[in-house]
Structure 1
Amino acid sequence: MPMDGGRESPNERSPNGSETTKNCRDLESLMSSCYPITLKFVDICYRVKLESKSSGSTHCGVRGFLGGPTRKDRTTSTPEERTILNGITGMVSPGEILAILGPSGSGKSTLLNALAGRVHGPGFTGTVLDNGQKRNKSVQRRTGYVTQDDVLYPHLTVRETLVFCSLLRLPDSLSKNEKIRVAQSVITELGLCKCENTIIGNSFIRGVSGGERKRVSIGHEMLLNPSLLLLDEPTSGLDSTGAHRLVSALESLAQKGKTIVTSMHQPSSRVYQMFDSVLLLSEGRCIYYGKASDAMDYFGSIGFSSSFHVNPADFLVDLANGVFQTDGTSETDKPNLKQTLISSYNNLLAPKVKAACLDTSPIMTNGVKTKMAFESHGSKSPNKESRRSIYSSSNSGWFNQFTILLQRSLKERRHESFNSLKVFQVIIAAVLAGGMWWHSDIRDIQDRLGLLFFIAIFWGVLPAYNSVFTFPQERAIFMKERSSGMYTLSSYFMARSVGDIPMELILPMVFTTIAYWMTGLKPELGAFLSTLAVLLGYVLVAQGLGLALGAIIMDAKQASTVATVTMLAFVLTGGFYVHKIPACMAWIKYTSITFYCYKLLIYIQYGEGHSIWFLLGCSQGSNRYSLSCRFVEEDLEGQIHPIVNIGILIIMFVGYRLIAYTALRRIKV
């Protein structure tokens, strides 16, 4: 896939040069324009039910509103309510940054989720208004939400990450080159040009810095040119300089007319000065909402002023924690400090805030009305034309999604499938097998059967165990992208399945090519190709088993444990270790993928086995009927026809993937 940043050849420019220039100008105009959104939230409350056991029991759990207590619960428990948010009111205008501050557990993330429309149910009450109206789908599409955790593919570069996201999220009304130019403009806007060709990385792979990774996450949402941008603790894990650079980038976005709401744990004084408004939470209640520059004066007016120079954010968070320091070292004992702060806010500020939020007159932003502020930025007013921008149309079609996801999967998976350790593992296993069974004699039937069963074990366990981690590891990315409507589940699953085929089959081909000729198996090209075909199909079936287990369990540790136990059962009933399986466990043999692969490999090498019996003199009436003869007879007797074996493996190949797809469908996003 060419990622040339939208550069066009002279042949493309010459016939339609003026049209291309016009399209570029239109694209730049759409990216620079912003439909202004004034966000208001009034009396936001959120409660969850707790379940307290009756006397004599010390266990208590959380039960949501949707699931009531059972008949047994009603007699042994008394449900209680816990308030997460209690009457939070405020607003933020275009061109402003509203910072939600407070200690851990104060309700910052819950409030952001409520503003993003992600909190529902009977426990949620209150009103969220966009430009004085309840949120609709049009405004929802213009809202970007950046979670606290950076959910990105580690092996893709910054540019690849944003280009793939742009190709998936932007509608088909834009050409491919236009989508790439949108991604490039976001890279430039967020100051990522220096690292655009650096991989994202993670805790195990060195990549971009934490601040750059966070800006890439913001870039995901910026591709759709959102008017409202919500960020959950974007500076978490960053040093003071990185946090300042990140908030500076947010400030530049706000200056272009975007409405920004962010939660922060404890910003530095430099970062605090960039906030227009501050909302301070303490145990789900508001103790201050207003201009960031007026916060210290307000608390001083109610008797909580600092006698020494202090970072305003530190001072506010201390108060929210119920701590008040006067000299910088000792804490002043203030009984019921939090309650005092809540009462003062409810009496002094809350009525003014609610009146301002319920006021329908034009909102003042830094002394200038919203409409005038946006005209100075060259943005469009909220008329019908801006509502019908290209960003409100549907995104890519199914086949386009499949193609892009397949390209992304191949780029990301090549590092995982062909890392040096995995290649080393396969080559060493092939060489060891070749050395142990070096040019084995055809009459050494027990050794030959051991070799075939080893191959079946190795290429059953390895792909199954590797693929069981696929969906649990990608769950966060999958849920994030699906919730934003980037693609359908079917296009994702098909791209993942098709993309895995070349990745999973190359190493088995290398293994077979090395081990087959070293071990001296049947020296015929047809036999070699048949062995290779059976082994490649078997690998895909084993991989499907791992995908199904991972999709059902969706927990990496639990899924790997279940996969280990499952493959152990398949290996033990595979037909080599035990021939006379107890009747109560015999059914496991017919579900074992190892059993069918092993029988096919035997058939390729020995056919029906009669020639081997004749070669060894295996006859019940002869003196040469030995343990070796009995071993051969027990392995070859009752052979399932190879066509039946192949048919069962095909059914397993399809069936396991259908199970995985069905399991993914039940995940709510």
Structure 2
Amino acid sequence: MSSAAQDRAIPIFLKFADVEFKVKVQNPSSSGNPVKAVMSKVASQLHIEQQYKQILRGITGSVGPCEILALMGPSGSGKTTLLKVLGGRLQENVKGTVTYNDVSYMPALKRRIGFVAQDDILYPQLTVEETLVFAAFLRLPSNMSQRQKYDRVEMIVKELGLERCRRTKIGGGFIKGISGGERKRTSIGYEILVDPSLLLLDEPTSGLDSTSANRILQLLQGLAKAGRTIITTIHQPSSRMFHMFDKILLISEGYPIYYGKGRESMEYFASSRFIPEIPMNPAEFLLDLATGQVNDISVPEELLASRQSAEFENSVIRYLQHKYKVDLEPKEKEENHRAAKVPERLQLAVQIKKDWTLSWFDQFAILFKRTFKERWRDYFDHVRLIQSFGVAVLLGLLWWKSSTATEAQLRDQIGLLFYICIFWTSSSIFGAVYVFPFEKMLLVKERKADMYRLSVYYACSTLSDMIAHVLYPTFFMCILYFMAGFKRTAECFFLTLSAILLIAVTSQGAGELFGAAVMSIKRAGMIASLILMLFLLTGGYYVQHIPKFMQWMKYVSFMYYGFRLLVKVQYSGDDVYDCESPAGCRSLQSSPSFDTVNLSGGLREVWILLGMALIYRMFAYLCLRRKINIANF
């Protein structure tokens, strides 16, 4: 392996002392009672501390290379929160100290820390091998050759036992894929590709059978022996798994109640006179204590008097918290204080900020290929193809060889143009509005690992999706244009097609903006529907003469400019119609349909739509950056 890759695997000694964390909570809704709402607001201003809920309440510990620290406790005890604090993913409202080789957290540490979330956040359409290869090309140093990166992936695949499923899709939702254990091992492989010095795992055995869970723990043991520092949350391991951990930190309601070696935990609680009355799995015994449920456990005499009371469980927990504070916490703090100072070279090593391993364009080339590979099934979906073909043929038959001979026929043809505008506007908006909300968790995960620049992701996403927004309208217009009897000239056909594509690309930008602004699948769809309806009404077909106080709406509507552009490229002010009427031929410009459109007024709408397409994308990128920067998972 290259020296750059080896430098990533420097040993990390992690120490944390008196770690506290509180989260801001919203006041209960008082919308049904205005007086109560006002009083609640005043109370929140006078009592700021009531706006926060304490999650962690002073936790101390340490873990070093070649060790596995297990964070145990019931659901809601604060395990995952502590894991995020230790990984630098939660920094606001955190008190206490967390050091890495005696250095506080800094951005330079991002690429030395691997984080495996409880939910396996992977692209479902990629295979196991593709997932790891793209991660290797994005994350490994640029001074490694392609052959070395492929060899690294091959080594990880064999080390994790993924040979059998290497060419199987990850799957998820409605896509059949690999098993839960294989997904978890792929997630771990995704992180250990870059030899992280510190590996954090949130419930790595959750939802797995005992065999798969044991295999995961054996894998973690091997990774720890290679010099990594490993911290994992775990809910209720088997007795065999329990003894694989070097250290245990047991948490109850945000308080620590045991910290030390796993094999010494039973002895510690026995010395406090908590002894199981029946044979029990040590992990099950510890969790019973953490929840205060001691039905088959003998307890100290001080607690016997309250055994039948409703507060007995709380009494047990408070007793254990007090015992920890008196017996274990002082020893751990003293040990942390007396611990040998980490060598200066290791302190300096974790402070070295790593530049991007690849240039912007190299990242773009890799990420574009991955994005296209992940989404190509959506781009070339049979349903979308049938929809475009079916709608084009249906419209072509309804407007078969339409003409502009009379006012009524002209109005019908203009109606077709407006429907085309509606169809591709809505299709493009709803095709783009869900992209970022759907990929939010994947994007947050990869950005927190500093895998690539956000600008690269956005450029790849919008350009890759543009393939579909160009392909289907082109296919659609090639069928409909000549069936509907539009002008049969090459110039007019390509101008009309270009106008449709410009409308579709602008609508795509608007959809991306709506999706990035809210980052919610449900709300993004609602906002897109509302905006689309407003743009539809102000598009210039249903209402041409809009009241002055509402005219501002049409000037922000890309459908208004798109419809005007389609009309201008299809018709000319010099064309005549209604020649069979008693009054003789009239110019198209004299038709009431073009009251507000100057057919000879040039194509300034092209520049307006191009400007809108760029502005929408610029704001979409800014919204995406803001949402991703404040996101946590």
TM-score by length of 1: 0.83
Q: Secondary structure at the match of 2:577?
A: helix
Which residue type is aligned with residue 201 of structure 2? Answer: L
Equivalent residue number for residue 332 of structure 2: 353
Matched, 1:607 2:572: yes
Query: Which residue does 1:506 correspond to in 2?
Result: 471
Query: Is 2:13 aligned against 1:38?
Result: yes
- Counterpart of 1:508 in 2: which secondary structure? helix
SS where residue 666 of structure 1 aligns? helix
Aligned residue for 1:645, secondary structure, equals: helix
Instruction: Provide Cα deviations, 1:7-31, integer angstroms capped at 9, x if missing partner.
Output: xxxxxxxxxxxxxxxxxxx449956
Rounded Cα–Cα distance in structure 1 between residues aligned with 2:7 and 2:346: 18
Equivalent in the alignment of 1:257: 227
Question: What percent of counterpart residues are identical?
Answer: 39
Residue 230 of structure 1: aligned partner: 200
User: Are residue 239 (structure 1) and residue 209 (structure 2) matched?
Assistant: yes
Q: Which residue number in structure 1 is paired with residue 259 of structure 2?
A: 289
Q: Is 1:397 the counterpart of 2:368 in the alignment?
A: no
Distance, in Å, in 1 between the alignment partners of 2:27 and 2:351 is 52
1:528 aligns with 2:493: yes
Q: Which residue of 2 aligns with 1:194?
A: 164
**Alignment check: 8 A CA contact 1:606 1:612 kept:** no
Instruction: Verify: 1:337 aligned to 2:316, yes or no.
Output: yes
Displacement, 1:304?
Answer: 1.8
Amino acid of the residue matched to residue 286 of structure 2? L
Distance in 2 between residues matched to 1:33 and 1:630, nearest whole Å: 71
Instruction: Give the conservation status (yes or no) of the 8 Å contact 2:170–2:178.
Output: yes
Note if 1:555 corresponds to 2:555. no
The answer on whether the counterparts of 2:434 and 2:525 sit within 8 Å (CA) in structure 1 is yes
Q: CA deviation at 1:506?
A: 0.8
CA separation of 1:391 and 1:653: change in aligned 2, threshold 3 A: closer
- The residue number in structure 2 matching 1:652 is 612
Partner of 1:3: none
Superposition deviation, residue 631 in structure 1? 10
Amino acid at match of 2:623: A
User: In the alignment, which residue of structure 2 is the partner of 1:86?
Assistant: 57
| 1:402 and 1:491 in contact (8 A); partners too | yes
Whole-angstrom distance in 2 between the partners of 1:279 and 1:119: 19
Asked if structure 2 preserves the Cα contact closer than 8 Å seen for 1:505 and 1:539, the reply is yes
CA–CA distance in structure 1, aligned partners of residues 9 and 546 of structure 2: 71
Map 1:293-332 onto structure 2 (within 5 A).
293-326=263-296
**1:286, CA displacement in angstroms?**
0.9
TM-score norm. by structure 2 comes to 0.87
Identify if the C-alpha distance between structure 1 residues 28 and 388 changes in structure 2 by more than 3 Å, giving closer, same or farther: same
CA distance in 2, matches of 1:282, 1:389: 34
CA distance change for structure 1 residues 636 and 608 in 2, over 3 Å: closer, same or farther?
A: farther
2: distance between equivalents of 1:652 and 1:424? 30
**1:617 maps onto 2:581 in alignment:** yes
Aligned length: 610
Task: Tell me the amino acid that sits aligned with residue 581 of structure 2.
Answer: G
Q: Secondary structure at the residue paired with 1:567? A: helix
User: Which deviates more, 509-518 or 604-613?
Assistant: 604-613
Counterpart of 1:150 (choices 117, 120, 127) is 120
Cα distance in 1 between the residues matched to 2:53 and 2:542? 59
Letter in 1 for 2:256: C
CA-CA distance at 1:540 after TM superposition: 0.4
Instruction: Map 1:5-154; keep pairs closer than 5 Å.
Output: 26-27=1-2, 34-48=9-23, 73-75=44-46, 79=50, 82-121=53-92, 123-135=93-105, 139-154=109-124
Separation in 1 of the partners of 2:183 and 2:595? 59
Structure 2 distance, partners of 1:235, 1:575, is: 59
Structure 1 window deviating more from structure 2 (498-507 vs 281-290): it is 498-507
Secondary structure of 2:16's aligned partner: strand
Aligned to 1:635: 594
Task: Please report how far the alpha carbon of residue 430 of structure 1 lies from its aligned counterpart in structure 2 after TM superposition.
Answer: 1.4
What letter is aligned with 2:98? V
Q: Distance in 2 between matches of 1:108 and 1:212?
A: 24
* Cα RMSD, aligned residues only: 3.5
How far residue 201 of structure 1 moved from its aligned partner, in angstroms, is 1.7
Question: What do the CA deviations read for 1:299-327 (whole angstroms, capped 9, x no partner)?
Answer: 22322222222222222112111101218
- Partner of 2:95, secondary structure, is strand
Q: Secondary structure at the match of 1:408?
A: helix
Is 1:409 matched with 2:371?
yes
Task: Measure the CA separation in 1 of the matches of 2:36 and 2:184.
Answer: 40
Which amino acid letter does the alignment assign opposite residue 169 of structure 2?
Answer: I
Tell me the alpha carbon deviations over residues 152-205 of structure 1, each in whole angstroms, 9 at most, x when there is no partner. Answer: 222112222222122222222222332232233222222222222122222222
Closer/same/farther in 2, CA of residues 52 and 196 from structure 1, 3 Å limit: closer
Query: Which letter does structure 2 place at the counterpart of 1:100?
Result: L
Q: Is the 8 A contact 1:508 1:536 kept in 2?
A: yes
The alpha-carbon distance between structure 1 residues 135 and 656, as it changes in their structure 2 partners (threshold 3 A), is closer
Separation in 2, partners of 1:638, 1:78 = 61
**Residue of structure 2 aligned with 1:205, choices 175, 194, 201:** 175
Amino acid at match of 2:171: G
Alpha-carbon separation, structure 1, partners of 2:590 and 2:253:
73
Deviation of 1:262 after TM superposition, in Å, equals 0.4
1:420 paired residue among 358, 382, 386: 382
What amino acid is the match of 2:484?
A: T
In structure 2, which of residues 499, 502, 508 is the aligned counterpart of residue 543 of structure 1? 508
Separation in 2, partners of 1:587, 1:250:
62
User: Residues 595 and 128 from structure 1, CA distance in 2 versus in 1: closer, same or farther, beyond 3 angstroms?
Assistant: closer
Counterpart residue type for residue 348 of structure 1: D
Structure 2 residue corresponding to 1:567, chosen from 532, 537, 552: 532
What secondary structure is seen at the aligned counterpart in 2 of 1:433? helix
Note the C-alpha offset of 1:347.
Answer: 2.8
2:443 is equivalent to residue 478 of structure 1: yes
Q: Which amino acid aligns with 1:356?
A: E
Work out whether residues 499 and 565 of structure 2, in 8 Å CA contact, stay in contact via their aligned partners in 1: yes
**Contact 1:504 / 1:539 at 8 angstroms: preserved in 2?**
yes
